[in-house]
Amino acid sequence: MDLSNIRHLLTQQTTDFLAKREHQLLIDGQWRPAASGKTFATVNPATEEVITQIAAAGPEDVDLAVKAARKAFDGGAWPAMKPAERQRLLLKLADLVEAHAQTLAEIESVDNGKSAGIARAVDMALTVDFFRYMAGWATKIEGSTTAVSVPFAPQAQFATYTLREAVGVVAAIVPWNFPLLVAAWKLGPALAAGCTVVLKPAEQTPLTALYLGELIGQAGFPPGVVNILTGDGLEAGAPLTKHPLVDKISFTGSTEVGKIIGHASVDNMTRFTLELGGKSPVIVLDDCDPATAAAGAANAIFFNHGQVCCAGSRLYVQKKMFDNVVSEIGKIASGMTLGHGFDAAAQMGPLVSQEQMDRVCGYIDIGRSQGAEVVAGGGRHSGKGYFVQPTVLANVDHNKRVVQEEIFGPVLTAMPYDSIDEVAAWANDTPYGLGASIWSNNLSKVHRLVPKIKAGTVWVNCHSALDPAMPFGGYKQSGIGRDMGRASLDAYLETKSVFIAI
């Protein structure tokens, strides 16, 4: 790739890492090419240029990686490690990510298109915090004791307790929108619990996971505890989800693939956690300041170029404020500067791929053909790179495709409403239930609305706030299970009940 225009902005480590001709798979502590010898290109979405070649894992590599993870789980150094040692390793990894945060942010920016500054301030900062938070759980895994009665053995006495045990080998399959952060959401609790992992990053953004693989080696994790397979969904992802030696799958991505994985999991009774798509409503009540609501709603949809599973993609504004708020958002959208991830003036970057750009532009056209008014934006941004204009569509019927389906780009649909009951019904009337935000200063209205919303997270006067301690996941077709918080640790543990006749 021609990095000449930005080379002076990059750390030496970034330059060296990107200059590698071919990046390999991490299996059992060794970097190796794919068994087939196949590679694929990863592309800079801001320039459409190939960055470098990546090993393309297939079924044979999947089998080797799963067996390495199995061996590391069933015997050897990992199960012998005390919780405090797992905690120390995770803390060491967090320190290393922190020390390399600038390089990781730059690599993420080149690979994904997002701003390097935001990648550092958001993706990398959250990754570091999350590893630290999860490190703490490694030493706080607790079972319980219970006084039992055993009704059919009244004379017998028992001592009973429960043990929480690591579920085993975890297949972690992650998407391209927050590549390193979502990988950390899987690795953190899995490693804290004592599991071993085969991580498959998205084919669009494999680079930061590979850099993390180097840091995992430096931190001192034993070989086979974390294996990394780059490759696509069909050749690498699908065989991983079907492998009989995998005990748990943790997936973030589309609802469509989530369902395929759910079906595959049940065949082997593999445990699974799915964090899937969304169509999150932003609900503006007429008591709030229109400028504040407009700025909040714009941020809810345009952050990360709309490629956020909980993006606020449906805006509902109470009637008397509708025109005011929507025209404000239109002004914000029209005034946004688009540019590559190292352009300090840019407020939004390119979408991740040609495919995603085409998909998003296709939706804008569908919206237009189904009668939507284009208040701002409306298509591809001129020039090279997969840039799409920040777009606001108004006057769209609630049942139209752009209101019902996940677009996963910088496209907002705006609808007016009359009453709280009406907006609650509309907010819930999609297959999804990941997030929602409410904008109001009227406490009693807010408290009445929160329980009506069927979503895994409800934000009030903010959107997309996240913290390692707060569980994140979906109701309905937005998924099963939770990432982050104690809830995510539990998903990597089995419960064993022990009865001792005394």
Residue 237 binds to ligand NAI (criterion: CB under 6 A): yes
Segment near ligand NAI (CB under 6 A); pick from 79-87, 253-261, 281-289, 464-472 = 253-261
Segment near ligand NAI (CB under 6 A); pick from 83-91, 95-103, 117-125, 226-234 = 226-234
Residue 430 binds to ligand NAI (criterion: CB under 6 A): no
Residue 252 binds to ligand NAI (criterion: CB under 6 A): yes
Residue 238 binds to ligand NAI (criterion: CB under 6 A): yes
- 180 or 202: whose CB is closer to ligand NAI? 202
Runs of H (alpha helix) within 152-219: 179-193, 207-219
481: left (phi over 0), alpha (psi -120 to 50) or beta: left
Segment 257-264 long-range contacts (CB within 8 Å, at least 24 positions apart): 257/233, 258/479, 261/173, 262/480, 264/238
State the residue for tokens 């539990």: 490
Catalytic residue flag (residue 309): yes
Segment near ligand NAI (CB under 6 A); pick from 1-9, 254-262, 391-399, 439-447 = 254-262
Residue 405: CB minimum distance to ligand NAI, A: 8
Residue 94 binds to ligand NAI (criterion: CB under 6 A): no
Residue 181 identity (one-letter amino acid): L
For ligand NAI, the binding residue among 189, 253, 341, 456 (CB under 6 A) is 253
Q: Give the integer Cα–Cα distance in Å for 307 and 408.
A: 5
State the residue for tokens 């005390």: 82
- 131 or 408: whose CB is closer to ligand NAI? 408
Residue 173 binds to ligand NAI (criterion: CB under 6 A): yes
For ligand NAI, the binding residue among 254, 268, 324, 347 (CB under 6 A) is 254
For ligand NAI, the binding residue among 1, 260, 295, 487 (CB under 6 A) is 260
Residues in 358-397 that interact with ligand NAI by CB under 6 A: 359
Question: Taking the mean position of all CA atoms in its chain, how far away is CA 25?
Answer: 22
For ligand NAI, the binding residue among 45, 175, 296, 367 (CB under 6 A) is 175
Report the SS3 class of residue 491: coil
Report the SS3 class of residue 445: helix
137: left (phi over 0), alpha (psi -120 to 50) or beta: alpha
Q: Give the integer Cα–Cα distance in Å for 93 and 108.
A: 18
**Rg of the chain on CA atoms, in Å:** 24
Catalytic one of 288, 309, 310, 361: 309
Residue 191 binds to ligand NAI (criterion: CB under 6 A): no
**How many angstroms separate the most distant Cα atoms in the chain?**
82
Q: Give the integer Cα–Cα distance in Å for 500 and 200.
A: 42
Residue 326: CB minimum distance to ligand NAI, A: 24
- 260 or 295: whose CB is closer to ligand NAI? 260
Catalytic residue flag (residue 275): yes
Residue 203 binds to ligand NAI (criterion: CB under 6 A): yes
Q: In this structure, are residues 134 and 188 in contact, taking their beta carbons and an 8 Å threshold?
A: yes
- 3 or 360: whose CB is closer to ligand NAI? 360
Report the SS3 class of residue 339: coil
Residue 257 binds to ligand NAI (criterion: CB under 6 A): yes
Closest CA to 134 of 494, 455, 491, 465: 491
Residues in 302-361 that interact with ligand NAI by CB under 6 A: 309, 359
Segment near ligand NAI (CB under 6 A); pick from 149-157, 171-179, 187-195, 296-304 = 171-179
Residues in 263-302 that interact with ligand NAI by CB under 6 A: 275-277
Q: What does the block give as tokens for 344?
A: 């300090």
Q: In sequence order, which residues have a C-beta less than 8 Å from that of residue 65 and are 6 or more positions away?
A: 25, 27, 28, 57, 198, 227, 229, 240
Segment near ligand NAI (CB under 6 A); pick from 19-27, 170-178, 279-287, 392-400 = 170-178
For ligand NAI, the binding residue among 130, 316, 322, 408 (CB under 6 A) is 408
Closest CA to 326 of 264, 376, 363, 286: 376
Segment near ligand NAI (CB under 6 A); pick from 8-16, 256-264, 311-319, 410-418 = 256-264
Catalytic one of 108, 203, 275, 406: 275
Runs of H (alpha helix) within 44-141: 59-74, 77-80, 83-99, 101-112, 116-118, 125-137
Binding site for ligand NAI (CB under 6 A): 173-177, 200, 202-203, 232-234, 237-238, 241, 252-254, 257, 260-261, 275-277, 309, 359, 406, 408
**Residues labelled catalytic:** 275, 309
